[in-house]
Amino acid sequence: MILTLTPNPSLDRALQVDRLAVGEVNRADASWVHPGGKGINVSRVLMAHGVPTLAVLPAGGADGARLVELLGEQGVPALPVAVAGDTRTNLTLVEAGGTTTKVNEPGPALTDDEVDAVLRVVEEQLALRPAALVSAGSLPLGASECFFVQVAGLATRYGVPFALDTSGLPLTRAVRSGGLTLVKPNDEELAELVGRELVTVGDVVEAAREVIDAGTRAVLVSLGAHGALLVAEQHSWWAGGAPLVPLSTVGAGDSTLAGFIAGDGSAADRLRRAVAFGRAAVLLPGTAVPGPHQIDLDAVRVVEEPDHRTALKEL
C-alpha cells in the first residue's frame, strides 16, 4: 500500500473558456469539480491503476466534507483529519489551445494541535509499514516550514521510503535535512532550490546531484512538454515524446510521480511509465486522472545518459 499525505488539499474547480479576457465577463463552456491537492491526486491515479493506497488529509467545513465525499465516490480510501478551518477551493481556467490559468487559495490555518493530529495519523499508518509514503503540495498556514523534515524523520524511523513533491522553503528545508528517497521538482522548482538558472541537461543533472549529495536517493525532474529527467548518484536518464496540445496540465506532475511509484522495473522502465502517465494526464480536463487504457508507453522514448550539452528546450 502507498500512503499519501496532502497537508493542504483542495476542491479543484475547472472552467473552460474559449479565450480568457482579463477584466471582462467570461462565460464558461464547461466546468468540472475534482478532489484535489497533489498527494490526493497521486492516490487517485494509483487507485485508477489498481495500486492500493490511502490518502491522509486535513479536512474542514462544507468543502472539506465534499472533498471527502468525492474521494468516496471515486473509491479512493481516505483518512481525513478533522480541522476547524474550511478546506480551500482552487480554480483553474482552461482556454481552447490548452493555456491554463490557476488561482489557488492559501487554505485554512491549522492550529498546532491540528498539525500534531495529522502527524500522529501519519505515524500510526507508517507503523503499519506501507510500501512508501508520498507527501506533496504546499503547506497550510500554521504548519512549520520544517513540516516535511518531521515527516521524513517519521518515515526514516519506520524504514518507509519517502517521496516528496513540494516547492519553496519547505522543499529547501527537507532537502537540506536529508532522509528522502525521491524528490520530484519541475525544472523551475529545482532552479529555485539551487538558486541558479537551469538551461541544459547538464545544468539539471548538476543541480540534482547537489540534492543527492545532501541526502536524497534520486531526483525526478519534470520538464513539461520536454518530458522528464531522472537523476541518480551515478546515472541519469531522459524520457519524452512528441509535444501534445494539453486540455489541462493541472495534476500532470502528480500523475508523473504516481506513474514512477506505481510499480517496479528498471529506472528506465519507471521513468518511461512516469512520463507516459504525465502525458496521459494533460489530455484530460480539469484534474481528471488517467486510467490504464489511456497510457501509451510506446509513445515515450528513453535515453540513458543524455548529452549534457543539450538545451532543455531542445529535448
Ligand X SMILES: O=P(O)(O)OC[C@@]1(O)O[C@H](CO)[C@@H](O)[C@@H]1O
Of these partners, ligand X, ligand ATP, none, which one is at the site of residue 275 (CB under 5 to 8 Å by kind)?
ligand ATP
> Which residues inside 79-98 make contact with ligand X, applying CB under 6 A?
90
* Sign of the C-alpha dihedral computed for residues 36, 37, 39 and 45 taken in this order: positive
Of these partners, ligand ATP, ligand X, none, which one is at the site of residue 138 (CB under 5 to 8 Å by kind)?
ligand X
Instruction: Give how far Cα 21 sits from Cα of 27, 46, 300, Å.
Output: 10, 37, 36
- Element (DSSP H or E) covering residue 126: helix 112-126
Q: How far apart are CA 153 and CA 286, in angstroms?
A: 34
All three cell numbers of 108, joined, read 485554512
Q: DSSP label at 226? A: G
- Catalytic-residue membership of 269: no
- Element (DSSP H or E) covering residue 280: helix 267-282
Task: For strands 228-231 and 216-222, give the pairing.
Answer: antiparallel
Of the pair 6, 222, the CB lying nearest ligand ATP is at 222
Q: Give me the DSSP letters along 146-167.
A: THHHHHHHHHHHTT--EEEE--
Total site size for ligand X, rule CB under 6 A: 16
Site map 41..70 versus ligand X, x via CB under 6 A? x-----------------------------
Site map 217..246 versus ligand X, x via CB under 6 A? ------------------------------
- Which residues bind to ligand ATP, rule: CB under 6 A? 186, 222-225, 227-228, 243-244, 246, 249-254, 256, 275, 278-279, 282
Catalytic residue from among 254, 269, 298, 307: 254
Q: How far apart are CA 37 and CA 287, in angstroms?
A: 10
Residues facing 238 on adjacent strands = 229, 303
Chain residue whose CB lies nearest ligand X: 36
- The residue within the footprint of ligand X, chosen from 64, 246, 253, 259 (CB under 6 A), is 253
- The residue within the footprint of ligand X, chosen from 26, 74, 100, 104 (CB under 6 A), is 104
Site map 125..164 versus ligand X, x via CB under 6 A? ------------xx--------------------------
Of these partners, ligand ATP, ligand X, none, which one is at the site of residue 36 (CB under 5 to 8 Å by kind)?
ligand X
Q: How far apart are CA 162 and CA 182, in angstroms?
A: 7
Residue of 47, 82, 40 whose CA lies nearest to 64: 82
- What are the residue numbers of the active site? 254
| Interface positions with ligand X (CB under 6 A) | 8, 10, 12, 36-38, 41, 90, 104, 137-138, 250-251, 253-254, 287
